[in-house]
Chains A and B, each alone.
Chain A
């Protein structure tokens, strides 16, 4: 199975997640074993998903093997305007974050090499038709697929280290909103682009002083998802054909929408984690992780517009000095709404997530799991945007594994995430200079079921 084929499969499957699995637009679904335990694993060596959680733990995973998992996320986002009025439900969208891990290495050797493919960030939301925030956003689809070659080395039987090269191999962004400021109803703008390949790293250490205790730390660097040549599509501008009723109005409006391209950068933030694993008996494993995410990297969402779609170019109509005369005009390129740059404040703050989980080996074949998460929101009061209707999250998780044979087993997990109800007022938006978004209350649930398989060799 080549990397290329994996990526194709991932792309075909919409490798994004709703604005949901973790704070901001993070997706924290390391693998079904971890998912079922509230996403813990930095201080454990559960399986090959260590490459995501703590590459230092990979060398402690005894067997070589392949882990493959997929999730479906069902987001239920509701919004109600500060003014009251009807509840606006998100149109249901399903996304399928996935992960694939494979590790190789000499049996009982000190080295382990691995390859991971996963989706650490994404969001897909389609708001209700005609909702109050349509000037800010009608829909978003943000995807990312990372590929990560990994090396891990056990210095001693108690201490191992590891690192991976995190490659943003595939990424895309699609944002759509209404241009409600225009006197022409139904005008929309769509920004669509693919990210360029970017590199980062992750690294970690696992220390296992006894059979009953292990401690790990890991770090993942920030990777910028950068779109350099995205396309801008504006629809619904007035007809600019000379002689049409809207010709003269189009000359006022259309030259403000000449951009054909945009550039933007979205940080996928760095995070550092510390985890503790307790194995009081052979059958019971308990994990506790604290994850710090450096969301402060996300200061603003900036779009730089460029290119020229010709909307500003007009030939002369009529004769100078006569009624009905319009001079020729050459448009200024790179404009959207009359500006060549659009800046929307984010001002995210660094946050902590607390993850607690346990697994219990019921029989030789069956393992059951449970966990809980408290995930702080990086979004300050008055900064909540429709593309990330965020607040602190609490999640409950469960999962199981069943080993069909010695080598082959299936895994399943389920997470229920509640994004706590969040209200922001127009006054907060005015105070913060964030009136490009909408005042009201968001409330969201996310269900994330998933299944996968593992094969050890």
Chain B
């Protein structure tokens, strides 16, 4: 019998090879197409998210995995052209520097370390005011980390006193060109046929990540006026595009990571509550800027409780009940510390977080009142963005709805679970605010869905699971 198989197998194999050349074909289901849009020249306008910022820095790998770069790569299948980014060189690949994950403590807490080698700093740069190696070639990606919608017509925003990321790409001949001016100039020179616009996150984020203790929320009227200006500039040549809404920042790991553990520790030690500063107004213990926070009012993993603790508070919360000035030194410049403590009536010899004399800094807590302010601003801005997109017949990617769903339910991509959790969730980088490359790939895919729906195109998406989450020590 063995010889029977031995003799027939080659004959069968030969037959099968000839038959096997007939293959099922799926390349045309669906066939990639541009639909009613023209993707030949694409320009991206936005902030850190558009630049590819992550791990609290802008560096080459993040730039290469920016959602506009991923999107531009996919648009090539439907007539898209080259997409120039202000990339850091390989020799300066670490750009602004960033955080990397060194490992975990015995207790399981992450240990992050700053990467400070091979940065793109130029002469005159200081820690407080960095200056980056200039990049003055034309770029399609106008993402500027830190920019707010309210900043777009601020002269000098691209000067050495302004935003170092904008200064980096601002031509030497026009140091006082505004961001809006740069957008207009880019539209005039590159003649984009397609754009993405995602500004406005920092108009709430700066206030929120400072726990309401610094920065400010952009007035809705300013936001609306500037939205019109930037969209009018982008559509001046008849380009089609996508407008993106602003996600609710209270769902990001920056606000959801620390509180649950802190609440559990307080509960385990039968501590009924803590004392904190609220808002930004100076004043002593009797001025009304102190806030009693009950332990049960700290939001836990299940969503019960209201008060959110920032990721930046993590190193200092274990000092609760001890006399310490460390929390204050972490965000107040040394030279200003004395006057700051006096202005807020703080005595660092008192028990931290347990007394009105040494409360938990406002910068560490986004409390319920501040959350309402953030929510109201976000809603107002998103209403403006949606209306502006509709008015100009542009596609809208509602990132707010999308990220709310991710925060609630996670996101399964090709059988891989992703969540909005810090480090383990794959989507958010080590700063707890900005996405990982996988997060950006997911954003690019969602943007493609919005584009396809609006313009009848069939732009292929990417396999987001091929993009990394947080990089672990190898």
Contacts and interface: CB of A to CB of B under 8 A. Distances in A.
Contact of B105 (A83, A181, A248, A441): A248
A368 to B, nearest CB: 18
B22 A76 contact: yes
Contacts of B335: none
A77 B470 CA distance: 34
A443 B22 contact: no
Q: What secondary structure prevails in chain A residues at the interface with B?
A: mixed
Count chain B CB atoms within 10 A of each CB in A96, A248, A441, A449 and give the residue with the most.
A248
B472 A249 contact: yes
A421 B29 CA distance: 10
Interface in B433-474: 445, 448, 458-463, 465-466, 468-474
A326 interface: yes
Nearest to B15: A449
Interface in B97-151: 103-106, 108, 111
Interface in B162-221: none
A375 interface: no
B11 A443 contact: no
B20 interface: yes
A128 interface: no
Contact of B474 (A68, A76, A245, A439): A245
Contact of A74 (B20, B29, B417): B20
A181 B29 CA distance: 29
Interface residue range, chain B: 35 or more
A181 to B, nearest CB: 5
Contacts of A77: 24
A369 interface: no
B467 to A, nearest CB: 11
B412 A83 contact: no
Contacts of A426: 412
Interface string A417-457: 00001010010011000011111010111010111010000
A345 to B, nearest CB: 13
A9 B463 contact: no
Contact of B463 (A76, A85, A252, A447): A85
Given A76-B24, A184-B472, A249 B103 contact: yes
A443 B414 contact: no
Contacts of B414: 81, 132-136, 180, 438-439
A77 B4 CA distance: 29
B460 A83 contact: yes
Contacts of A438: 414-415
A451 B8 contact: yes
B200 to A, nearest CB: 27
A437 B4 CA distance: 41
* Interface size band for A: 35 or more
Given A84-B30, A135-B465, A6 B25 contact: no
B19 A245 contact: no
Interface in A48-87: 68, 70-72, 74, 76-81, 83-85, 87
Interface string A133-144: 111100000000
Contacts of A342: none
Contacts of A136: 414-415
B425 to A, nearest CB: 11
Nearest to B108: A252
A5 B4 CA distance: 14
Contacts of A84: 30, 32, 458-461
A84 B1 CA distance: 48
A409 B19 CA distance: 26
Contacts of B465: 132, 135, 180
B236 interface: no
A131 B466 CA distance: 10
Nearest to B31: A84
Contacts of B334: none
Contacts of B416: 135, 180-181
A315 interface: no
B26 interface: yes
B9 interface: yes
Interface in A128-171: 130, 132-136
B12 interface: yes
A359 B225 CA distance: 81
Nearest to A252: B104
A441 to B, nearest CB: 6
Interface in A269-326: 318, 324-326
B77 to A, nearest CB: 8
Nearest to A439: B414
Given A94-B13, A245-B473, A251-B104, A436 B415 contact: yes
Interface string B21-57: 0111111011010000000000000000000000000
A241 interface: no
Nearest to B8: A451
A83 B445 contact: yes
B4 A68 contact: yes
Contacts of B473: 245-246, 248-249
B1 A6 contact: yes
Contacts of B29: 80, 421, 423, 441
Given A184-B472, A438-B415, A449 B19 contact: yes
Given A76-B23, A238-B472, A445-B24, A83 B462 contact: yes
B468 to A, nearest CB: 7
Nearest to A177: B415
B25 A443 contact: yes
B16 interface: yes
B106 A325 contact: yes
Interface of A: 1, 5-6, 9, 13, 68, 70-72, 74, 76-81, 83-85, 87, 89, 92, 94, 96, 98, 100, 130, 132-136, 180-181, 183-185, 238, 245-249, 251-252, 318, 324-327, 416, 421, 423, 426, 429-430, 435-439, 441, 443-445, 447, 449-451, 453
17 contacts: A87-B25, A96-B5, A96-B9, A180-B414, A181-B426, A183-B468, A183-B472, A245-B473, A246-B103, A246-B472, A249-B104, A249-B472, A421-B26, A436-B415, A439-B414, A441-B26, A451-B8
Given A183-B468, A445-B24, 13 more contacts: A6-B1, A72-B15, A78-B25, A81-B414, A81-B463, A83-B462, A84-B459, A183-B469, A185-B468, A249-B472, A435-B415, A451-B8, A451-B12
Interface of B: 1-2, 4-5, 8-9, 11-13, 15-17, 19-20, 22-27, 29-30, 32, 103-106, 108, 111, 412, 414-417, 426, 445, 448, 458-463, 465-466, 468-474
